[in-house]
Amino acid sequence: MFRESKKIGRNAPCPCGSGLKYKKCCLGKEGAGNRVKELYYKKYGIRLKNKADVEAIKRCGRLALETLDLVEKAIRPGIATEELNTLVHEYTVRRGARPAPLNYKGFPKSVCISVNEVICHGIPGPRVLKEGDIVNVDVTPVLDGYYADVSKTFFVGTPAPEAKKVVEVAKECLRRGINQVAPGNTVGDIGWAIQKYAESRGCSVVREFVGHGVGFKFHEPPQIPHFGKRGQGVVLVPGMVFTVEPMINLGGKELRILNDRWTAVTADGSLSAQFEQTILVTEDGCESLTPYPI
């Protein structure tokens, strides 16, 4: 998705903080001048992506979205989350890709499936979906060495008003977060917009898990918190690719990790919802590499 134009003037100060004019610094051909590329790697460990990288991440993103569509069609009361894992695994492999979650830091399955009070990192298993559940499916294929990370929260059957609310708020948080992504804005602007909206709706923002750079690896710098202050943190520059993936709780923000060492649940047992996309910073705003309507 493209943001309304927020183009930096050629003669304006470069957002990378070099003190040079933008045209003399980062206004480069491939979306990232050499100077900013070096600076961002040295200073933050951020590896900017070039055109070919972006095209490859996009191809991976398309596969991720098709995988999510497949899962959505299979979701119904009575299906075990293990069966959805099998669908994701087989489809990913059939398309010549690999599911990044499998064996990642010991994660035992090919997709994260998080039901109701599970915030994220739910491990597929015998849990059976039932009418009224909400279920987040978080898919990350690796295609030709490139990663794209995307998730949606689905309804199982007809949602109760509370379920509908937390899912709507989480989706709107993603929309407002992405809307802040433009060169010259900061990482803090994204979190600020998300936190402000979530809390205005009486919901809370999870602190322990954040968005992240993505593309060459599953998780790269920078971290993208879904809370924070305007103007703080790294200045966004063209060529950055990262996820925005707010986890929004209906109750308190506190969480607990189950004995499986992965599953994060709300401490108060309240519902939690999440939407995630992989976003590229462009010259005049941003573009989702895993686009779906929000």
Residues 177-236 within binding reach of ligand MF3 (CB under 6 A): none
Q: How far is the CB of 264 from ligand MF3 (least distance, A)?
A: 10
Of 32-40, 160-168, 180-188, 244-252, which segment contacts Co ion by CB under 5 A? Answer: 244-252
Query: Any contact of residue 138 with ligand MF3 (CB under 6 A)?
Result: yes
Q: How far is the CB of 107 from ligand MF3 (least distance, A)?
A: 3
Q: Using the rule CB under 6 A, which residue among 117, 220, 245, 287 binds ligand MF3?
A: 245
Dihedral Cα 128, 132, 134, 139, nearest 10 deg: 50
Of 76-84, 91-99, 240-248, 286-294, which segment contacts Co ion by CB under 5 A? Answer: 240-248
Per-residue 3-state assignment (H helix, E strand, C coil) for the chain = CCCCCCCCCCCCECCCCCCCEHHHCCCCCCCCCHHHHHHHHHHHCCCCCCHHHHHHHHHHHHHHHHHHHHHHHHCCCCCEHHHHHHHHHHHHHHCCCEECCCCHHHCCCCCEEEECCEEECCCCCCCECCCCCEEEEEECEEECCEECCEEEEEECCCCCHHHHHHHHHHHHHHHHHHCCCCCCCEHHHHHHHHHHHHHHCCCEECCCCCEEECCCCCCEEEEECCCCCCCCCCECCCCCEEEECCEEECCCCCEEECCCCCCEEECCCCCEEECEEEEEEECCEEEECCCCCC
Q: Using the rule CB under 6 A, which residue among 140, 153, 180, 288 binds ligand MF3?
A: 140
Query: Any contact of residue 112 with ligand MF3 (CB under 6 A)?
Result: yes
Binding mask 72-111 toward ligand MF3 (x if CB under 6 A, else -) reads: -----------------------------x--xx-x----
Residues 265-284 within binding reach of ligand MF3 (CB under 6 A): 276
Q: How far is the CB of 144 from ligand MF3 (least distance, A)?
A: 19
Q: Which is nearer to ligand MF3, 40 or 107 (by Cβ)?
A: 107
31 binds, among ligand MF3, Co ion, none (CB under 5 to 8 A by kind): none
104 binds, among Co ion, ligand MF3, none (CB under 5 to 8 A by kind): ligand MF3
Of 39-47, 76-84, 143-151, 200-208, which segment contacts Co ion by CB under 5 A? Answer: 143-151
| Chain positions contacting Co ion, by CB under 5 A | 138, 149, 243, 245, 276
